[in-house]
Structure 1
Amino acid sequence: MAFSIFSNKNRIINLVLNDHSIRFVELKQVDPPIAQKWNERFLPPGIITEGKITDIDSLTNILEECIDEWKIGRRQVRFIIPDPLVIIRKVSVPSDIQDDEIKGYLYLELGSTIHLPFEEPVFDFYMLEKNGKNRDLLLFAAPEQYVMEYANLFSTLKLTPVVADISPLALYRLYHQLNQPAKNEVLFSAQFDLTSVNMSIFEGTVPLVMRQFPLSFDIDKWEMKRDDTGTVHFKYIGDTEDLVYQFEDILKEINKLSDYYRYSLSKEKRAVSKFLINGDHPLLQAILDEMKERLEVPVEMISLELGAKDKGGSTPAKLFLSLGLALKEVQ
């Protein structure tokens, strides 16, 4: 059982904040992944916008209430860097640069030979294959200013940020834990949330590309209810044609990214071999059914059959991202 040598107050908590929610999971065990505790809080529009904190006072007050209500004060925290802030880019470095020199080289080249749409990034990288005089790597980057706003907020509220992760890796970690991926699998992961869709394509365990597609969200067109477990449920009360058009736009973006991977990124012109669907969108099952009808390759959802029997039921699918985050550095 994971973390069995620690007392409750020392267990790391896992927080996911996006434009419309705060979610938290505390891991009970790793195999199979089971949540010890979990909870969520809906965020009204305008507090976080496209991943950036736009109303720090309101977010501070709400998060302070959550910490008190969920009894997670003075804990270490893993958190997800919001998808709109993250860029994944393939870059090349000279082959003669030693592994322990690569990060310094990247620092020097950012802004000159390596261009990002923001200054002063925080970044990490993953080495790919050598390519003659160069070595390819994947660069994962986000603007330091906005990432540190989250870290500083947690610190202000007496939480200690210890790990920052990105959602495609967190979800793939859970998928890999629960499934045995096929050999040479090319996985298209699509995270359908209430206000956005995040798409990424994996070769093996490596996310080669990621795209963020925002969804228009009018809170007046959704009816919100909270059940006895604290889970928030949404029911659409607007014109269903609007959702149909929205899905058609998403499907076009999925097809465009699939083609981009096959004809521009894949050296062997390989195609996507599986779609993995997840997220907190209230119509996720309908989206899954429609994609199964439209696409010629398998479309699946992450299945957690042995999920946590906490609060009288299994861990909701909307918490899977937090659960995947909880598996970081414990596998």
Structure 2
Amino acid sequence: MTFSLFTPKNRIINLVLNDHSIRFLELKQTDPPSAQRWSERFLPPGIISDGKIADIDSLTTILEECIDEWKMRRRSIRFLVPDPLVIIRKVSIPVEIQDDEIKGYLYLELGSSIHLPFEEPVFDYYRLSENEKTKNLLLFAAPEHHVMEYANLFSSLKLNPIAADISPLALYRLYHQLSQVDQNEILFTVHFDLTSVNLCIFEGSAPVVMRPFALSFEHDKWDIKRDSRGLMECKYTSDAEELVVQFEDIFNEINKLIDFYRYTLNKEKQDITKFLLNGDHPMLEAIVEEMRERFEVPVELISFETKGKAGSVPSNLLLSLGLALKEVQ
């Protein structure tokens, strides 16, 4: 399942931009696949905000430096649509709508029978099931203006954007590569980054509900530098209790989303069977341990042992790796 805007090609660079970083990874075509090279660059606050480009001049300058340093010029790229821009909805359409007519039908219904919190969406869909009267779909949508702002920026810098995806699918793709996935599993993914958290619940391989949340980030309370590998090293220098309050808010949101899934989406038919965590937050392992204390279902921290010539892929590059795996599945 993909969130496709363009046509895939070979030798693809996989880019992940969020409010605080730019990351890239290139996958080597082997069996099993291995990551050939990767890197990341910290973004100062105010350049990307809630997934939207806020300072395009500064972002352009930084991207130009990254392209030169990472030797990416004139390469084809995939990128992730930032979580705050993405909407996932279950929708039903008449069963008589033919498969090759679905996208046109959805386009006509957006803004009338299908309501989104923005106009002019770019969208894709995934078929779930059908009965005698309806076809049930998952609709993935994002504001076209903001998505194309990224695509146009990449193009202006001599990159070739050929595909866009969303982070829950990239994470699930990696999870599927690693595990013997139970098709009846109800997986709750938690992507816990320095400046945001994204919660998503999967039924099988379908992400049926997603909730992104921003974290308060005060740059002067963090010591952020590059380690010997050129990767971000983050350490909180203020009162740790301030972070604990943030974590408590997120645990409350996790409980709310579990209840929403259990009682509203699923009518108490099924419940969460596993948590899967990933992210770049430096306290991620402590978050995992706290969740194991609070919740009665298993909590798993995803890791990937594939080797590239630079060693094992760091945990904060795993979304980029999940994005890269599209070309080998």
TM-score range for the pair, normalised by the shorter chain length: over 0.9
TM-score calculated relative to the size of structure 1: 0.94
Q: Which moved more, 1:130-139 or 1:109-118?
A: 130-139
Gaps of 5+ in 1: 1-9
Query: What residue number does 2:241 align with?
Result: 241
Q: Which amino acid aligns with 1:325?
A: L
Q: Which amino acid aligns with 2:78?
A: R
SS of 1:182's partner is: coil
Tell me how far apart the structure 1 counterparts of residues 274 and 30 of structure 2 sit (CA, whole Å). Answer: 25
Tell me how far apart the structure 1 counterparts of residues 307 and 144 of structure 2 sit (CA, whole Å). Answer: 35
Tell me how far apart the structure 2 counterparts of residues 214 and 208 of structure 1 sit (CA, whole Å). Answer: 21
Tell me how far apart the structure 2 counterparts of residues 106 and 295 of structure 1 sit (CA, whole Å). Answer: 39
Query: What residue number does 1:330 align with?
Result: 328
Q: Is the 8 A contact 2:195 2:215 kept in 1?
A: yes
Tell me how far apart the structure 2 counterparts of residues 244 and 31 of structure 1 sit (CA, whole Å). Answer: 42
Gaps of 5+ in 2: 1-9
Q: Is the 8 A contact 1:33 1:323 kept in 2?
A: no
Is residue 266 from structure 1 mapped to residue 304 from structure 2 by the alignment?
no
Tell me how far apart the structure 1 counterparts of residues 148 and 85 of structure 2 sit (CA, whole Å). Answer: 12
Matches within 5 A, 1:133-148: 133-148=133-148
Q: Deviations over 1:102-146 (max 9, x none)?
A: 111111111111110000000000111114411111100000000
Cα offset, 1:29, TM superposition: 3.8
Q: Is the 8 A contact 1:172 1:324 kept in 2?
A: yes
Tell me how far apart the structure 1 counterparts of residues 79 and 125 of structure 2 sit (CA, whole Å). Answer: 18
How many correspondences in the alignment? 321
Query: What residue number does 1:318 align with?
Result: 316
Question: Relative to 1, partners in 2 of residues 1:116 and 1:241: Cα closer, same or farther, differing over 3 Å?
Answer: same
Query: What residue number does 1:209 align with?
Result: 209
Matches within 5 A, 1:91-106: 91-106=91-106
Matches within 5 A, 1:185-196: 185-196=185-196
Matches within 5 A, 1:1-331: 11-29=11-29, 31-267=31-267, 269-305=269-305, 307-311=306-310, 313-331=311-329
Cα offset, 1:30, TM superposition: 5.9
Q: Which amino acid aligns with 2:321?
A: L
Q: Deviations over 1:278-312 (max 9, x none)?
A: 0111111111111111111100011213x32443x
Q: Is the 8 A contact 2:188 2:199 kept in 1?
A: yes
Q: Which amino acid aligns with 1:99?
A: D
Tell me how far apart the structure 2 counterparts of residues 266 and 74 of structure 1 sit (CA, whole Å). Answer: 47
Question: Relative to 1, partners in 2 of residues 1:20 and 1:30: Cα closer, same or farther, differing over 3 Å?
Answer: farther
